[in-house]
């Protein structure tokens, strides 16, 4: 790796270009985990993050959002997340503080706010461009998450509905919906949790594309992570696949969701066929009027900055990778996002594992360098 982090201007009027070994794009948990291993390998690197402060996605989300596992099941490499007094399942504010302390502890070179606009292949390097700066790198780790790319499916009549509509990204708390009739759309954890609390103040209806799959009450993040760990170990030892968590179900029965079930709220109906000015309609003639629709319909990987690389996509629409490495552009790694970049890599503990292998490929070494914590 080169170690010449010295800005120079390519041409008059061009943005200053800094030469660096590895650029990590995104300073959320995945980017920080990569930073930890790059630091430990003694690599020359920088982390560029679009936000004004630390925390990644955990800066956002609704007020009551919590991890679905205790702190000690959600560590980044090197340092356990401290317990949160009085909260067996840490709040998002606690996770945010942990990530802020983490980057300080390991003196990770995070630059903010830097919104990377594009990555281009240029000779034997990758050129990373933001509004007023450029970095020329031997390797790029893209760890931009998916929060900035909310997915909202389009149904016939989507322009007709005159009520309120919002996506999970904009939802904060139930109070604004008090007394309303609200449709919550989506079959995952976000939908179940938002439905659970909105139903305490509003008349709710739950619509899903497929019947929701509830995990057993005694299965929380601890069990999910144990299963993912067993699978990972088996893969490393070339043993038969022990199976992932998908067969178990999707929705973790956190206390608020269990309470909603006990109140008889968790009955899902098949998704409507179209929107109308007043609500939602099915082809059999059924119609329901609603004041607000909350779309809890997920996210897509935030990859627009990679468009200049013209990466080919899998049938699922994600760039083709071997582990975290792009098959089309070997200097590029994709980290976080989902299982397609490594088992559980969009979770805290999974990000740690995949970051380790990703950085080992980039630096070509697992050598442990001593480094001080702040």
Token pair, residue 165, equals 């509509």
**Residue pointed to by tokens 């050598």:** 367
- Cβ closest to ligand FAD, residue 280 vs residue 349: 349
Task: Give the residue, chosen from 17, 18, 74, 354, that forms a contact with ligand FAD under the rule CB under 6 A.
Answer: 74
Q: How far apart are CA 208 and CA 271, in angstroms?
A: 5
What is the pattern of x (binds ligand FAD, CB under 6 A) and - over residues 277-316? -------------------------x--x-----------
Least separation in angstroms between residue 169's CB and ligand FAD is: 9
Least separation in angstroms between residue 143's CB and ligand FAD is: 5
Q: How far apart are CA 265 and CA 195, in angstroms?
A: 8
The answer to the question of residue 76 lying near ligand FAD (CB under 6 A) is: no
Site for ligand FAD in 49-68 (CB under 6 A): 49-51, 56-57, 61, 65, 67-68
Least separation in angstroms between residue 231's CB and ligand FAD is: 16
Burial track 347-356 (b if 16+ CB lie within 10 A, e otherwise): bbbbbbbbbb
Give the list of residues 6+ apart from residue 68 with CB closer than 8 angstroms, or none: 89, 189, 220, 221, 224, 252, 254
The answer to the question of residue 212 lying near ligand FAD (CB under 6 A) is: no
The answer to the question of residue 184 lying near ligand FAD (CB under 6 A) is: no
Picking from 64, 107, 98, 65, the residue whose alpha carbon sits closest to that of residue 80 is 98
Q: How far apart are CA 77 and CA 8, in angstroms?
A: 34
What is the pattern of x (binds ligand FAD, CB under 6 A) and - over residues 138-177? -----xxx-xx-----------------------------
Strands (DSSP E) found in 176-284: 181-185, 203-208, 268-270, 274-275, 279-281
Residues near ligand FAD (CB under 6 A): 25-31, 48-51, 56-57, 61, 65, 67-69, 74, 114-116, 143-145, 147-148, 190, 221, 302, 305, 336, 346-348
């Amino acid at each position: 790796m080169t170690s010449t982090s010295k800005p120079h201007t390519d041409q008059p009027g061009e943005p200053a270009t800094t030469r660096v070994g590895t650029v990590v794009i995104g300073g959320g948990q995945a980017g920080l985990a990569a930073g930890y291993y790059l630091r430990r390998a003694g690599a020359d690197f920088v982390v560029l993050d679009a936000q004004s402060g630390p925390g990644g996605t955990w800066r956002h989300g609704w007020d009551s959002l919590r991890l679905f596992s205790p702190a000690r099941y959600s560590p980044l490499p090197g340092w356990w997340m401290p317990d949160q007094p009085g909260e067996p399942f840490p709040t998002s504010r606690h996770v945010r503080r942990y990530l802020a302390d983490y980057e300080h502890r390991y003196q990770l070179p995070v630059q903010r706010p830097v919104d990377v606009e594009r990555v281009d292949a240029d000779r034997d390097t990758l050129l990373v461009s933001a509004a007023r700066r450029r970095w020329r790198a031997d390797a790029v780790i893209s760890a931009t998450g998916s929060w900035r790319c909310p997915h909202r499916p389009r149904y016939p009549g989507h322009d007709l509905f005159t009520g309120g509509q919002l996506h999970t990204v904009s939802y904060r708390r139930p109070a604004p919906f008090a007394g309303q009739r609200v449709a919550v759309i989506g079959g995952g954890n976000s939908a179940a949790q938002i439905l659970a609390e909105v139903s305490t103040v509003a008349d709710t209806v739950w619509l899903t594309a497929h019947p929701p799959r509830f995990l057993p009450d005694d299965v929380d993040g601890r069990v999910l992570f144990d299963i993912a760990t067993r699978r990972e170990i088996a893969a490393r030892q070339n043993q038969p696949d022990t199976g992932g968590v998908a067969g178990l179900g999707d929705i973790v029965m956190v206390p608020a969701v269990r309470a909603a079930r006990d109140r008889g709220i968790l009955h899902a109906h098949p998704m409507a066929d179209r929107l109308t000015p007043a609500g939602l309609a099915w082809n059999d003639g059924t119609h329901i009027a609603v004041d607000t629709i909350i779309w809890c319909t997920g996210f897509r990987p935030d990859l627009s900055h990679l468009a200049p690389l013209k990466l080919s996509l899998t049938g699922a629409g994600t760039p083709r990778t071997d582990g975290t490495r792009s098959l089309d552009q070997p200097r590029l790694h994709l980290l976080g996002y989902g299982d397609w970049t490594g088992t559980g890599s969009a979770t805290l503990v999974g990000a740690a594992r995949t970051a380790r292998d990703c950085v080992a490929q980039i630096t070509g070494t697992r050598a442990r360098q001593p480094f001080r914590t702040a």
